[in-house]
Chain A
């Protein structure tokens, strides 16, 4: 290929659209056929395609933080089996210290051959129902990876199209839900098989060389695009930090702090997390893939424009962290929170640093999330199910100049890519009655642009025993997301259990938890953070919020300086003016 060969701009655009369509089709196959509500109803997975030079060509985010770590896993697999990969091979892999997020997220990866040569790698990463580890009755959250489950370094589940019996048996023998797990591995295989078929058709049609030239061009263009976006940010060094709560093995609640030095020079950004807290003796460590993904995703969300996400666009973003911090832990530290609390904490620290640089673009942080992972036997359907309760994860986002936050869309590590389960499907699957799931009045982080609303979630368990683990953050004053430029922070989340004998109990996150039949769990999830001074919010918007019962009349008055007649639903314009003027003079 000659150096100055002119690339056909038409073919570049065409290929770009093909690749996106294939990635989407992979995702559809997974989502439509999974046996696991975490995939099928909530979209807790991601897909990616790499080229023969192991460059990320396209990825499709369902759960953003998962998608961003498919490529690092594929790179690890491809390098480990450099000389030993054949057509028909399918790899399986979940090692957090070799490019993966955490043990529960399992990669299925297929090399795509064309005319005897590897041209692509297609991968799907999804959160499987079980990957071994301790029984359901104890906390599944150990302080080392050894306690968390079966670590699978890159290995072949299929070799030359034939099932590798040994690997299959090891996985199934160590699995508490072998049938459901195998079903989901199959749907990941479906995803990569579809990618293989479609990519081979395209290679037949266009030829390997044309194809690869066009990919070079897409990656170069995407890098240019990202450099252009980064160039909009004023040069300088910016600092941000964020703490969330975690528990020591003794169950004592402690603070874990991410510290970000973001430095922007020309068209490049570097993020250094080396001053973050040391790794912890529990599962709040973030595997390296998670740390890098967190930084890339939150930058992409807040930059003044949208760039493709591939190897090219990620090139101008460098992430560093000293080994031994919780953002770059040493094996065998446990990394189970890699797709939740740990990246979220890093992301808010990045937002804080960025807010100094691009106040007009940055969004106030998302709500902190909490979730319950549990295993339950359903008498009605005769089935044991392991579930992540995504109704708890319906977190709102923060406000930004010109826009209020969304009421739903999930926390920062989902960025609105996950979807929330259907209420009836949940009741059919699980032995529960969902008693309430709706917005809570006055739960938003207030501001000129307020956050989305927080939710109340109330669920009753109808079966004897439900074993699980409640994890999350945002129940301490320091861990709530912080408002920007005068915007307010929301109140911390709260949790309460009402036992069948009527006894009530306040609880906090990050504990193993067992519910008895009839127990009602009530969760008041926070709003996101507000943006700008609430006294500057358009009074008509405040009135609309009062009418919709998103904000109370008293809050409208006290926090927003808007005096509203609650019966007539009318703004008292004079009183509002006086209130707002007084506040300015203060």
Chain B
């Protein structure tokens, strides 16, 4: 009998597992990731579980009904340059637009900078004659000889994948389809993808870059998925496997292999879903989910239970425009290096000491002061209980680094210098949250702050204070945070159709709009049916990319269909929604100017059954029994002595007031003066201002 569901998050360093049985009891596993073939590590973790359960692997695998799998394999390929050797076919006369990346430099005021190395070097970019105009009409026929010549070069260069992007193919795909046909016939061994199928929308640079990305990572992802599926089925797995995608939904392996570019954020995309899951216990729908690790701080806004989506996403400096969770990432983490710039102003990050050599306190050769060094000097971290005691920290090394590189240049004493690092990194993170919220037109004060990642909870109270955020939620076990999110995600597919229309009564073709919406709906239903979703489990929502007449950039807003189809009487509502959003984003609106429709979008969701997690029992021990000692810390320019709680002994119902520190094996939580903490039924720590009532705090979140 199938009884397990498993979320697997293959990260760059570790693979995390969450295994939930049908009684709702969950377990966490962790193994090192194995590159270049992560399926070895993935299988090892499953084997560990079987051993732990004292059953043969084959029996354990046969008892798994669902595996949801997130993986950084595609991102990793690009970061390490191990993607497929990729050729690119585009229009004759336009060989360089992708690699020129529209020209903007990162740093204006220096000539000493090189552009990032291209995914496809120029000699593998081949151009073919033939043109489609902006209305979809052919004005130069496709020159097939050029296609054959390009294929000859690709064969000679042993190209493994080919991307094709031609002008206005989303209006008229005939040239792209013919090129694809020829390649499939002449070079069947190569993976080929064409831009109108990967991303049928205007802006050739974004479309082409996304298509190239897709081609470059697809062969590697295919190999990996096929490999893993074979290993699983050979060993008795007969359940379902789904893959996490960048948009926060899951998809079947077949879809993933065709749209590999959708897996670029496959790992981190689990985070916001997990944040939602832990918040649901308190009916919280508006969340900012943050994850602070060693090198980066990721923030994602969730509104009404839906994570924000962006179509402007750079991975390793390459642009992709497929809808992805809008995870705003800044260079701020435990390893971020503090330095005094040539003007004498203290900076923290974005450079990171990473895991190797790591912070100075690792005593592994790093002599730059980092955030973790500051946290240690301030007394927030326990040198003997970092990663549950698995890694020893050396305060003397941290002190030396901070003294030499921060305290002395700024003429501060050691603790004020460490405190300065702490405050600045907190401010940088608060700034990162603003980017993810205020800059998108939303007020963070209406949101709960869900904090994951080992380094985050030491900093969370100050960040929340800076942003006037009233409630923090810190899951007890953040190490399997993303894996948890994967298990509670639905199938989700995004569709887009370019559709130009002036939204003025009598000036647009409602029939065409509705037929495009229907097309996307049909395609979505078909795909979900193939993935085994029943019709009553399908939810579809529609959006439109709109702008004021003559503007050049669009804003996505929900697209109303009052009576099941769009009619002219929906225009006023649409205009109202758009004006409001424009005002929030850009400081003004133009209600008298008509709207132009550029793209229609459909988000099609297949609701899958979620595991029921069992509530943890109320712990009856007094909170004082969880205190394992006291420590002097430096906070807010003062030394104070705080109790240290053993997180392993804390559970549902425990409460305390700050200042206090809770040490979990994978993280440390600093509850600062003025804050209190309550531990909820999932074992999450809820932190909010002292003297306030939790229910009031929850109610007030909806006031904004």
Query: Which residues in A have some Cβ–Cβ distance to B below 8 Å?
Result: 9-10, 12-14, 16-18, 21, 25, 28-29, 31-37, 40-41, 43, 61, 64, 179-180, 183, 186-187, 189-191, 193-194, 197, 218, 221-222, 224-225, 228-229, 300-302, 305-309, 363, 380, 383, 394, 397-398, 400, 402-410, 415-420, 422-425, 427-429, 433, 435-439, 458, 547-550
Other-chain contact of B134, A25, A187, A427 (Cβ < 8 Å): A427
The answer to whether A18 touches B431, judged by C-beta atoms less than 8 angstroms apart, is yes
Contacting residues, chain B, for A36 (C-beta < 8 A): 552
Q: Give the distance in Å from the alpha carbon of A300 to the alpha carbon of B111 in the complex.
A: 10
Q: Does B202 contact A (CB under 8 A)?
A: yes
| 25 contacts across the A-B interface (CB closer than 8 A) | A9-B410, A18-B431, A29-B585, A33-B586, A61-B108, A183-B590, A190-B586, A193-B587, A224-B344, A225-B343, A228-B343, A300-B109, A305-B342, A307-B109, A383-B550, A410-B103, A419-B102, A420-B100, A422-B204, A422-B205, A435-B93, A437-B93, A438-B93, A438-B95, A439-B95
Residues A34 and B551 in contact in the complex (CB < 8 Å), given A17-B431, A419-B104: yes
Question: In the complex, what's the smallest C-beta–C-beta distance from A13 to chain B, in angstroms?
Answer: 5
Return the chain A residue nearest B434 by Cβ: A21
Contacting residues, chain A, for B343 (C-beta < 8 A): 221-222, 224-225, 228, 307-308
Contacting residues, chain B, for A25 (C-beta < 8 A): 439
Residues A21 and B431 in contact in the complex (CB < 8 Å), given A28-B439, A306-B107, A402-B112: yes
Q: Give the distance in Å from the alpha carbon of A549 to the alpha carbon of B96 in the complex.
A: 12
Q: Does B167 contact A (CB under 8 A)?
A: yes
Q: Give the distance in Å from the alpha carbon of A416 to the alpha carbon of B587 in the complex.
A: 28
Question: In the complex, what's the smallest C-beta–C-beta distance from B427 to chain A, in angstroms?
Answer: 5
Contacting residues, chain A, for B121 (C-beta < 8 A): 548
Q: Give the distance in Å from the alpha carbon of A549 to the alpha carbon of B123 in the complex.
A: 7
Residues A183 and B167 in contact in the complex (CB < 8 Å), given A408-B103, A422-B203, A438-B96: no
Question: In the complex, what's the smallest C-beta–C-beta distance from A161 to chain B, in angstroms?
Answer: 13
The answer to whether B104 touches A301, judged by C-beta atoms less than 8 angstroms apart, is no
Contact with A along B519-562 (1 / 0, CB 8 A): 00000000000000000000000000000111111010000000
In the complex, given contacts A34-B552, A190-B587, A191-B587, what are 17 additional A-B residue pairs having Cβ atoms less than 8 angstroms apart?
Answer: A9-B410, A29-B585, A33-B586, A35-B552, A189-B588, A221-B343, A222-B343, A228-B343, A301-B109, A394-B100, A408-B101, A408-B103, A409-B105, A424-B204, A427-B167, A428-B202, A438-B95
Q: Give the distance in Å from the alpha carbon of A21 to the alpha carbon of B330 in the complex.
A: 13
The answer to whether B586 touches A406, judged by C-beta atoms less than 8 angstroms apart, is no
Contacting residues, chain B, for A32 (C-beta < 8 A): 553, 555, 585-586
Question: In the complex, what's the smallest C-beta–C-beta distance from B471 to chain A, in angstroms?
Answer: 20
Question: In the complex, what's the smallest C-beta–C-beta distance from B584 to chain A, in angstroms?
Answer: 10
Residues A550 and B345 in contact in the complex (CB < 8 Å), given A191-B587, A403-B111: no
Contact with A along B171-194 (1 / 0, CB 8 A): 000000000000000000000000
Contacting residues, chain B, for A301 (C-beta < 8 A): 108-111
Question: In the complex, what's the smallest C-beta–C-beta distance from A69 to chain B, in angstroms?
Answer: 16
Return the chain B residue nearest A426 by Cβ: B134
Q: Does B27 contact A (CB under 8 A)?
A: no
The answer to whether B346 touches A13, judged by C-beta atoms less than 8 angstroms apart, is yes
Q: Does B97 contact A (CB under 8 A)?
A: yes
The answer to whether A418 touches B103, judged by C-beta atoms less than 8 angstroms apart, is yes
The answer to whether A423 touches B587, judged by C-beta atoms less than 8 angstroms apart, is no
Query: Which residues in B have some Cβ–Cβ distance to A below 8 Å?
Result: 92-97, 100-105, 107-115, 121-123, 131, 133-135, 139, 167-168, 202-206, 341-347, 410, 412, 419-420, 423-424, 427-428, 431, 434-435, 439, 548-553, 555, 582, 585-588, 590, 593
Contacting residues, chain B, for A548 (C-beta < 8 A): 121-123
Return the chain A residue nearest B551 by Cβ: A35
The answer to whether B105 touches A415, judged by C-beta atoms less than 8 angstroms apart, is yes
Return the chain B residue nearest A429 by Cβ: B552
The answer to whether A13 touches B424, judged by C-beta atoms less than 8 angstroms apart, is yes
Residues A437 and B97 in contact in the complex (CB < 8 Å), given A183-B550, A301-B111, A404-B114: yes
Other-chain contact of A10, B139, B202, B203, B420 (Cβ < 8 Å): B420
Q: Give the distance in Å from the alpha carbon of A428 to the alpha carbon of B115 in the complex.
A: 29
The answer to whether B586 touches A194, judged by C-beta atoms less than 8 angstroms apart, is yes
Other-chain contact of B553, A40, A64, A400, A408 (Cβ < 8 Å): A40
Residue of A18, A33, A35 with most partner-chain B CB within 10 A? A33
Residue of B104, B109, B431 with most partner-chain A CB within 10 A? B109
Residues A193 and B588 in contact in the complex (CB < 8 Å), given A17-B431, A424-B203, A439-B95: yes
The answer to whether B139 touches A433, judged by C-beta atoms less than 8 angstroms apart, is yes
Q: Give the distance in Å from the alpha carbon of A408 to the alpha carbon of B101 in the complex.
A: 9
Which label, helix, strand, loop or mixed, suits the secondary structure of the B interface? loop
Count, A-B residue pairs, CB within 8 A: 214
Q: Give the distance in Å from the alpha carbon of A405 to the alpha carbon of B420 in the complex.
A: 39
Contacting residues, chain B, for A302 (C-beta < 8 A): 111
Question: In the complex, what's the smallest C-beta–C-beta distance from B599 to chain A, in angstroms?
Answer: 13
The answer to whether B420 touches A424, judged by C-beta atoms less than 8 angstroms apart, is no
The answer to whether B553 touches A363, judged by C-beta atoms less than 8 angstroms apart, is no
Residues A427 and B588 in contact in the complex (CB < 8 Å), given A9-B420, A218-B345, A439-B96: no
Question: In the complex, what's the smallest C-beta–C-beta distance from A365 to chain B, in angstroms?
Answer: 10
The answer to whether A416 touches B108, judged by C-beta atoms less than 8 angstroms apart, is yes
Contacting residues, chain B, for A424 (C-beta < 8 A): 134, 167-168, 202-204
Q: Give the distance in Å from the alpha carbon of A430 to the alpha carbon of B402 in the complex.
A: 58
Contacting residues, chain A, for B428 (C-beta < 8 A): 17
Return the chain B residue nearest A394 by Cβ: B103
Return the chain A residue nearest B554 by Cβ: A32
Residue of A64, A420, A458 with most partner-chain B CB within 10 A? A420
Question: In the complex, what's the smallest C-beta–C-beta distance from B249 to chain A, in angstroms?
Answer: 27
The answer to whether B204 touches A423, judged by C-beta atoms less than 8 angstroms apart, is yes
Other-chain contact of B427, A13, A180, A190, A416 (Cβ < 8 Å): A13
Residues A425 and B202 in contact in the complex (CB < 8 Å), given A14-B424, A301-B108: yes
Contacting residues, chain A, for B122 (C-beta < 8 A): 439, 548-550
The answer to whether A306 touches B588, judged by C-beta atoms less than 8 angstroms apart, is no
Question: In the complex, what's the smallest C-beta–C-beta distance from B358 to chain A, in angstroms?
Answer: 24
Return the chain A residue nearest B135 by Cβ: A380
The answer to whether B109 touches A306, judged by C-beta atoms less than 8 angstroms apart, is yes
Contacting residues, chain A, for B101 (C-beta < 8 A): 408
Return the chain A residue nearest B113 by Cβ: A403
Residues A415 and B123 in contact in the complex (CB < 8 Å), given A29-B586, A187-B586, A424-B168: no
Counting from the closest, the 9 A-B pairs by CB-CB distance are: A416-B105, A225-B343, A436-B93, A363-B111, A408-B103, A40-B552, A35-B550, A221-B343, A548-B122
Other-chain contact of A194, B94, B167, B203, B587 (Cβ < 8 Å): B587
The answer to whether B123 touches A221, judged by C-beta atoms less than 8 angstroms apart, is no
Q: Give the distance in Å from the alpha carbon of A219 to the alpha carbon of B109 in the complex.
A: 18
Residues A416 and B112 in contact in the complex (CB < 8 Å), given A13-B345, A191-B587, A425-B203: no
Question: In the complex, what's the smallest C-beta–C-beta distance from B89 to chain A, in angstroms?
Answer: 14
Contacting residues, chain B, for A187 (C-beta < 8 A): 586, 588
Question: In the complex, what's the smallest C-beta–C-beta distance from B235 to chain A, in angstroms?
Answer: 46
Contacting residues, chain B, for A403 (C-beta < 8 A): 111-114
Contacting residues, chain B, for A550 (C-beta < 8 A): 122
Question: In the complex, what's the smallest C-beta–C-beta distance from B698 to chain A, in angstroms?
Answer: 25
Question: In the complex, what's the smallest C-beta–C-beta distance from A426 to chain B, in angstroms?
Answer: 9
Question: In the complex, what's the smallest C-beta–C-beta distance from A520 to chain B, in angstroms?
Answer: 12
Question: In the complex, what's the smallest C-beta–C-beta distance from B529 to chain A, in angstroms?
Answer: 34
Question: In the complex, what's the smallest C-beta–C-beta distance from A455 to chain B, in angstroms?
Answer: 8
The answer to whether B134 touches A16, judged by C-beta atoms less than 8 angstroms apart, is no
Question: In the complex, what's the smallest C-beta–C-beta distance from B466 to chain A, in angstroms?
Answer: 9
Q: Give the distance in Å from the alpha carbon of A154 to the alpha carbon of B131 in the complex.
A: 49
Question: In the complex, what's the smallest C-beta–C-beta distance from B460 to chain A, in angstroms?
Answer: 18
Q: Give the distance in Å from the alpha carbon of A61 to the alpha carbon of B553 in the complex.
A: 20
Contacting residues, chain A, for B92 (C-beta < 8 A): 436
The answer to whether A29 touches B587, judged by C-beta atoms less than 8 angstroms apart, is yes
Q: Give the distance in Å from the alpha carbon of A438 to the alpha carbon of B419 in the complex.
A: 52
Q: Give the distance in Å from the alpha carbon of A359 to the alpha carbon of B550 in the complex.
A: 48
Contacting residues, chain B, for A221 (C-beta < 8 A): 343-345
The answer to whether A64 touches B108, judged by C-beta atoms less than 8 angstroms apart, is yes
Contacting residues, chain A, for B550 (C-beta < 8 A): 35, 179-180, 183, 383
Q: Give the distance in Å from the alpha carbon of A13 to the alpha carbon of B412 in the complex.
A: 15
Residues A408 and B100 in contact in the complex (CB < 8 Å), given A14-B423, A21-B435, A32-B585: yes
